[in-house]
Amino acid sequence: MTEKEKMIAQQEYNPQDEELVRDRYICRRMIRQFNDMNEEHEIDRAEILREILGAAGTNIYVESNFRVDYGYNVHVGKNFYANFDCILLDAAPIHIGDNCKLAPGAHIYTATHPLNPEKRASGIETAKSVKIGNDVWIGGGAIINPGVTIGDEAVIASGSVVTKDIESRTVVAGNPARPIKNVY
């Protein structure tokens, strides 16, 4: 397997592999173009996003500054909105359902590093996919950690750090995020 195939398959991989370095460079160049483009060019911005992302439904809108590592591992459904300064580190696939909203500064991480210091020093990484259901709202400054699944209609309160799966129709808050009530 190539390092890219290992990365996407959520196996240990070398992020300094030539192909992965090139993929990140290409993505960052496109993201810079997207972020620097005036909002009045909505159609052009949407076209660039569709080139960057692995899949995108209809009616998506992303504010600048937006950051992704590779882009091709991000899959968003229809009616997706990401407010200012969202970061999606997509070493593994990130799947976001329909009608989802990310508030300013929401971060989604898939990359993770070994706990063993010697192995960590080697530069080897792993990545764990993140899955977000339909009709989810992620509040400002919230962080979604690698391997998390968030059920449909969940709400992640501002500033929350999500370290475990979240059931559908649940509001969570805190660090680590804990259920505080159900969505009615």
Are residues 69 and 90 in contact, defined by beta-carbon separation less than 8 angstroms? yes
Each residue of 71-80: pLDDT tens digit?
999 999 999 9
Each residue of 5-36: pLDDT tens digit?
999 999 999 999 999 999 999 999 999 999 99
Q: Is 75 an active-site residue?
A: no
Q: What is the β-pairing status of strands 111-112 and 126-127?
A: antiparallel
What pairs with residue 87 in β-bridges? 67, 107
Q: Taking residues 76-100, what's their average pLDDT?
A: 98
Residue from 41, 75, 95, 113 carrying the catalytic annotation: 113
Spatial distance between the Cα atoms of 99 and 46, rounded to a whole number of angstroms? 17
Question: Can you tell me which residue has the tokens 């080697």?
Answer: 122
Predicted pLDDT at 1: 94
Domains of the chain: 3-182 (2.160.10.10)
The CB density around residue 20, as the number of other CB atoms within 10 Å, is 21
Each residue of 99-145: pLDDT tens digit?
999 999 999 999 999 999 999 999 999 999 999 999 999 999 999 99
Question: Between these two residues, 102 and 39, which has the higher pLDDT value?
Answer: 102
- Per cent of the chain over pLDDT 70 is 100
Number of H-type helices and E-type strands within the chain: 4, 19
Hey, what are 150's tokens? 């968030």
